[in-house]
Amino acid sequence: MDEEERAVQKAGRSLAFYIPRQAKKYVEPGDIFKVSTRIVNGEMEIVAKRKIFNFDLNEVKMVAEKHGLKVKYDDEVDGTRIVDAADGKISLKSIQSKLEEPYGLIHVVLNARVRNLNPRDYEQSKKHVADSSSMSKFNFSLLPEGDANTVKLLEHPEYYLKKDEFDLFQRLERTGKTIDASITARLDNKRNKLDDIDEAFELIEKLEHTFPHS
């Protein structure tokens, strides 16, 4: 713990301490702190506490195992710890690096793959994901994989088809093309709570079942 002398400043009719430089990267306007004051051996102690991170990697592992995933990898190399868990359909990857600021930040990525989708069904499911109320909370994404030509047509039909010249889906269906899709949710322990990982698991499983051919 670093100590330094800091003068009390006037702030209108109030008195204030300015936040030390080392703490600024952890604090944003509107953050709530629990503040306590006491006198110890003739000295005044003012302690301000605020929880920065909502879960650790061991708690992430427990959530993964609760949802039936098996931990395939858990190790730390050069200050970076990675936890990788998966079952037949869903995978969870989490990482924490001592070199990343703020120290203690954990990234969690949940992913499910759905195979052999009809392109039209993919587009309908993509709209379902985009309309999800939890889209921003869990940073959901749905991306096509597989046949490169089909993926390009789905993502940027304007590059390959003249407007109103073709029905894209009829064209793809005539060729019998199918693709895979990847559903992904991204969380971290500063923005999300541990319960959010549970909720993200449930939403991914629900979204996965919206695919007609999953």
Q: pLDDT of 15-36, one tens digit each?
A: 888 888 777 777 888 888 899 9
Helix, strand, coil fractions of the chain, as percent rounded to 5: 30, 35, 35
> What does pTM read for this prediction?
0.73
Judge if 100 and 149 occupy the same domain: yes
Judge if 24 and 83 occupy the same domain: no
Q: pLDDT of 185-199, one tens digit each?
A: 999 999 899 999 999
Tokens of 80: 């970076």
CA 74 to chain centre: 19
Rg value, the chain, Cα: 24
Judge if 112 and 151 occupy the same domain: yes
Judge if 94 and 13 occupy the same domain: no
> Is there a domain that residue 128 lies in?
yes
Judge if 120 and 206 occupy the same domain: yes
Question: CB–CB of 122/208 below 8 Å?
Answer: no
Which residues form the domain of 64? 57-210
Judge if 154 and 174 occupy the same domain: yes
Q: pLDDT of 89-139, one tens digit each?
A: 899 999 999 888 878 899 999 999 888 777 777 777 777 676 666 667 888
d(CA 54, CA 84): 20
Rounded to 5°, the CA angle 11-13-18 comes to 20
Judge if 81 and 172 occupy the same domain: yes
Bridge partners for 81 per DSSP: 76, 96
The amino acid occupying position 76 is: E
Interhelix angle 194-210/57-66, rounded to 10 degrees, is: 40
The amino acid occupying position 40 is: V
Interhelix angle 119-130/194-210, rounded to 10 degrees, is: 150
> Is there a domain that residue 169 lies in?
yes
Only one residue has tokens 């541990």, namely 194
Structural domain count, the chain: 2
Q: How many residues make up the chain in this entry? A: 214
Judge if 128 and 97 occupy the same domain: yes
> Is there a domain that residue 3 lies in?
no
d(CA 104, CA 37): 27
